[in-house]
Structure formats: structure tokens, C-alpha cells
Amino acid sequence: MPTFGNGRRVAIIAGVRTPFARSGTALKDYTAIDLGRFAVGELVQRTSLDGAAVDLLVYGTVVQSVMAPNIAREVALMPHFPKTLQAFTVSRACASANQAITDAADQIALGHADVAIAGGSESLTQVPILHSRGMSDILVAASKAKTMSQRVATLARIRPKDFVPITPAIAEPSTGESMGQSADKMAKINGISREAQDRFALRSHQHAARGLDDGRLTAEIAPVPVPPKYDAMLATDNGVRRDSTYEQLSSLKPVFDRQYGTVTAGNASPLTDGASAVLLMSEERAKALGYTPLAYIRSYAYAAVDPAEQLLQAPVLAAPLALSRAGLSLGDIDLVEMHEAFAAQVLSNIQGLASKTWAARAGLSAPVGEVDPERLNVMGGSLSIGHPFGATGARVLTTLCNELSRRGGQFGMLTVCAAGGMGHAMVVERA
């Protein structure tokens, strides 16, 4: 039985997430820490876990809080755990929760931990707004001033333009290109049509709606009370559009390249608030505590491409690596979950996996293979459910494991693309 570590298999016991809400809506008053506490608190309660049994908590986030940079520790200080629960925060763009999960899994495989909680959280409503450079320089100088008159003189240097704040954009520092522009560029390079993108987006909404309605997706969600009145609870993802039609999607205007582009608000994942968490254990500890694991981690891989080329295509390199580490081929995989940042990106990834060119780049003699649409994102994905950057990875893993178990499948694979030209893939197995 292959393991990725030193013989200790890592079990996935359960996953819980908050509902995912379009940013600026139901969860807008919560910080990433608040959201993380909802997900982790419910995970502990729902799994009937003794908080004292947890050795480690790892959490992912992208837009870091200036006031509490290690949000994992803030979450770990919940009353559900002893104050001695150590915790750290990781960041790998949209694969941050995946990074949290593999870090926790590594610690278990190494024998440094037996029980770990991993996941991630993101509030894309409560993002830090920065002062301009000029303003910061003046404020720092003023705080160092020794006398009142010095301070006043320093502050007098502030000019109206200094008050213009800087909002962090979702743009690549290396290329200056926004992620939407990158996706648009990928559609052009790979010849992904507007229609194919819109049809894929529609499929995502329809599948997600079905998963919510029949309870398969809803089962992952911890209801969260809605501020400021708290007179209702959000128990479902509010970005899923049940009534979406192809006609509606096709009528939307391109956002990033108005002249030649094909990426629209309808075939891109929305800015989203939410958090997620999974419970990981060593196989022996799971057995000792009486848990039946959903699945085990069989392998994982990270890869990267030049961000200036095809920013979101690295899953095409990560997937074969994970598969080879698992000793499996794509044909062995019963269920695939691919993170949907953009329809253009998912379709480009699928195309890349089937292409000889990308196979060659991965050092393979033959393509990885064709992804069976019947096994792909069967309950929708980030296009419909939403994409709180730091949380998505644990959402994807939870859905994969739950559905794999429901279907009685043996192997599952997930892929996640991430800013900076990075990609992640993980293979899980049952029993």
C-alpha cells in the first residue's frame, strides 16, 4: 500500500466548511479568523472530537490580516482546544488550504503529529486597505519626531494625493497582469471558445444546485448566523445560480479584455468569503479513537510554470507527478475535482492533460489522458460555489472524499491552480 511518507498513512476523517458567500454579502462582517472559528468549531463538534487530542492546527490564507498574521493560532485559541495547541499559517495563493493540508499530512507522516486540523479561510470583504507610500513615510517620520513642533512640521507635508488608498489587486507582482487577463490569454492560446466557457460555467451552477438540493453539498456546510441582526443563518452557498441559462451567460460582456476577450463575470469564479477545515489523523490513531476515515492521502505534488506564459496551467504538471507518486494513471481515478478559477483555466488544464506538448514538458512520453466529464466536478466547483482563496483547497478535498465514499470509488484526484504560476494535485484512496 503506497504511502507518501515513512510508512504512516494519513487518514482524512471529515471536512466542514462555512457556506461560501459572495464577498460583500451575508458574511461580510466576519473576519477570516471569525470564519475559520466557525468551520473549525463545527468540525470539532460534528466529529465528536476531544480538542485535547489535536496536536497541530495549520491554516491557509491569502490576504493576510495585518493585525493577526498567524490566523491559525487565533483559531487554535478557541475554547474547544487547550491553549497548548500549536498552530501556523501558510500561504500559497489559491492552494493555501492545500498547503496547510499537505504540511499537516507531512507532520503526521513524519510521526510528529497524530491528529491535525488543516484548512483555510478568506474574507475578501475585509481586506486591508493600505496608505500610499508617501503617506506611510510621513506617518512613520511623524511617529519618530521628538518634539511636537517637529511632528506638526512632518505632518504638514501630507498632500491630498497621499490620501488615495491602495487596495490590493489580484495581480501578479512579476507580470502586473491580473488573473482575469491571464485567463483570457490562456483562452486565446489554447483556443477555448466563449461558448465552451459559458457552457462549462452553466454546468458548474447546475451541478452545484443539485448537490445543494439533494443535501450532498449541504452536508459539508456548518450554518453560520448572519450579522448584523443575526436573525437568520446562512446554510447554503449564495453564489449558486439555479436559474442561470446559457443565454444569460452568453450575453455578458467580457471584463478583462473588452475587445477580444472571452472571460466574463459569468465564467470566472466570484470573490468570496468563507472558511473550511478537514480533520487528519494517522491511520493508527484514527483506528484507536474509533473513527472510520473517509479516505487516505496516497500522494501529492506541487509544480510551477512561468507566470508570464500560462499562469494557471501548472496543474497539468502537478497531476502527472502526483499520479506517478501514487503509482497510478488517470484511468485509475474514479473521481476528479478540479478547482475552477476560470472556465477557461479548467478547459485549458483538461486540454493540457490530453496534449503531447504538455506531456513532453512534464517529461512524459504520452499524455496524462482525457478527463472523463462524468467524473469531473460532479457537484460543481469554484465557478458556482465560490472561491474564498485560502479556503478552497479544503472544500475541494472534502467534496472529493465524501463523494468518492458515496460512489464507492477507490481513487480520487484533485487539482488546484494558484497565482504565481503554481499548481497542486493530490491523489486519495479509500480503505
Q: Smallest distance from the beta carbon of 126 to other proteins, in angstroms?
A: 15
Residue choice 2, 24, 29, 46 for contact with other proteins (CB under 8 A): 46
53 binds other proteins per the rule CB under 8 A: no
Q: What angle do CA 410, 414, 419 make, to 5 degrees?
A: 170
217-246 mask for other proteins (x: CB under 8 A)?
Answer: -----xx-xx---xxxx-x-----------
Choose which of 25, 47, 70, 410 interacts with other proteins (CB under 8 A): 47
Question: Which amino acid, residue 265?
Answer: A
SS3 string of 298-339?
A: EEEEEEECCCCCCCCCCHHHHHHHHHHHHCCCHHHCCEEEEC
94 catalytic residue (yes or no): yes
Q: Which is nearer to other proteins, 81 or 358 (CB)?
A: 81
Our answer to whether residue 424 is catalytic in this structure is no
Among candidate residues 80, 94, 205, 424, the one labeled active-site is 94
205 belongs to the binding site for other proteins (CB under 8 A): no
Does residue 41 belong to the site contacting other proteins (CB under 8 A)? Answer: yes
- Single out the segment in contact with other proteins by CB under 8 A; choices: 46-54, 263-271, 310-318, 380-388: 46-54
Cβ neighbour number for residue 357 with a 10 Å cutoff = 10
Distance (Å, rounded) from C-alpha 413 to C-alpha 163?
A: 48
401 among known catalytic residues: no
Reported as half-sphere exposure (CB side, CA atoms, 13 A), residue 229 has a value of 5
Q: Which three cell numbers stand for residue 10?
A: 494519513
Contact call for residue 50 and other proteins (CB under 8 A): yes
Q: Is 195 in the site for other proteins (CB under 8 A)?
A: no
Out of 48, 84, 149, 259, name the contact with other proteins by CB under 8 A: 48
Rounded CA separation 145/154 (Å): 8
Q: Which one, 45 or 329, has the nearer CB to other proteins?
A: 45
Distances (CA, A) of 365 to 60, 300, 355, 368: 36, 21, 11, 9
Q: How many CB atoms neighbour CB 125 within 10 A?
A: 19
Kindly list the catalytic residues.
Answer: 94, 387, 417
Residues that bind other proteins (CB under 8 A): 34, 37-38, 41-42, 44-50, 78-80, 222-223, 225-226, 230-233, 235
